[in-house]
Structure 1
């Protein structure tokens, strides 16, 4: 009987020593600073939450959700702890608001060969929308943030930009060039539907106007979308300039809502005519 008790005690001691050597489970990176939730102690919200209300990192108090583009905390409660052992994941920013998702981004510093992880709130709706106020918003989240707290609130009229007449964003300045040189004129336009661009040339004496590039081998036109949404940019390249190229170059942008023009005066001087 004494032998049985002795071996039983040895077995208990053995198991206790094994358990003592086991590492403690890693603390929950999201809730390790949270105590028991007492809703009655939560501060009362007095500000307007542009992106709606969410629970704090302890799932206790109601707070304002983070807005589009603001830093946020990635919810890694169910992720592999081994891959998230970085101070970055310590919650201190907050959760994203309605229709927003906290998304990991990378900031690459090629000069110092450093890559930094960070997270921001990204809208889950990518398309621009048209409000009943006739204004275009970059997405639904932008619209909701703008409308929050307003006494007069509008609804989304349609899930696309509002119709907008063409607008010249930038264009080349008038210039003087030497004969035999090359030049490039540019014109950047916005509008919806996206405007179409064409170039016209009026001679210095204003007696003749033609649409370019026509049959001029020294002149070429290129068009591409951008640099932003619902914008278009066009370039007019002129090689081996001659004095006969002096005149007015007009960028013409138009869509169903109208037309707009930008005139660029080009003077070609000196050099030897070829």
Structure 2
């Protein structure tokens, strides 16, 4: 009777080095491995990795998740497939407490069969795993690199109501591949802004995400003549898209407004203006 019980106790003691609170943990070198006692992980969006005892399989941490550096104390877990644990230097530059996070080893974009561009193979594999958890497996790789798409305006310019003398800024964010070109025009005219007008300027830069372009139209010290409709026009060789926004200007002093909206429109647009800034 004592033999089987004693053997069971020895097995449990031998595996105790790998399990604390039901989770695999490395507590000392050369811990014994009992595969029969390993938990069965499910719904792992970043694949499976070996625990610190190199015994059981567990879910790897996904991209951006806090992780344990090699040789450090086990706490947050190890990164999943195609991922590397690195210190977050961006957070360090912002004065934050530095932490190690999972970073995808390959940052090349992937075009999925759903016509969606994934930032890298890790994001693509995560989407595949999420589908599998939901009971479907339809997502496949359509090609290496981003999906070729006509421009799409993610954030269109918003209507504004300004008092003469104030500055007005319109924002337009566009996503496309190949990268789109963005133009600004007023009242459907064929001349692109700013033209030769010194109080109007246009600035564009990439971002905030890959294959996005942010463009701003700034009017310094608006006048009654600046009132009108402003168009953000984005185009590449695959297509063209336009978004519109209106600028209404209220005069100060003896000036008279070029456009006087009804009281409820004025109230709504004032709220939008406050929210925008």
Structure 2 equivalent of residue 94 of structure 1: 77
Structure 2 alignment gaps of length 5 or more: 1-24, 256-277
Q: Name the CA distance, whole Å, in 1 between partners of 2:35 and 2:82.
A: 28
Distance 1:31 1:92 in 2: 10
SS at match of 1:189: strand
Q: Map residues 186-197 of structure 1 onto 2, 5 A cutoff.
A: 186-197=171-182
Q: Aligned pair count?
A: 225
Residue in structure 1 matching 2:200, options 219, 224, 228: 219
Cα distance, 1:100 vs structure 2? 0.7
Please point out which of 54, 58, 62 is paired with 1:67. Answer: 62
Equivalent position of 2:86 in the other structure:
103
Q: Name the CA shift for 1:166/1:41 in 2 (closer, same or farther; >3 Å).
A: same
CA pair 235-34 structure 1, distance change in 2 beyond 3 A: same
Which structure: larger Rg? 1
Give the ranges of 4+ consecutive aligned residues of structure 1 lying more than 6 Å apart after TM superposition.
none
Between Structure 1 and Structure 2, the one with more helix by share is 2
Q: TM-score, normalised by structure 2?
A: 0.70
Gaps of 5+ in 1: 1-29, 77-88
Mapping 1:1-274, distance limit 5 Å: 31-33=26-28, 36-76=31-71, 89-105=72-88, 108=92, 116-148=97-129, 149=132, 151-202=136-187, 210-271=191-252
Query: How well do the aligned residues superpose, as a CA RMSD in angstroms?
Result: 2.8
TM-score of the pair, normalised by structure 1? 0.71
Matches of 1:163 and 1:198 in 2, distance apart? Answer: 21
8 Å CA contact 2:35, 2:55 repeated in 1: no
Using the TM superposition, give the Cα deviation of residue 99 of structure 1 relative to its aligned residue in structure 2, in angstroms: 0.7
Match of 1:80 in 2: none
Change (3 A) 1:261 1:71: same
Q: 1:97 to 1:216 in 2, by over 3 A?
A: same
SS at match of 1:144: helix
Q: Which has the higher strand share?
A: 1
Question: How far is 1:109 from its partner?
Answer: 10
Q: CA deviation at 1:46?
A: 5.0
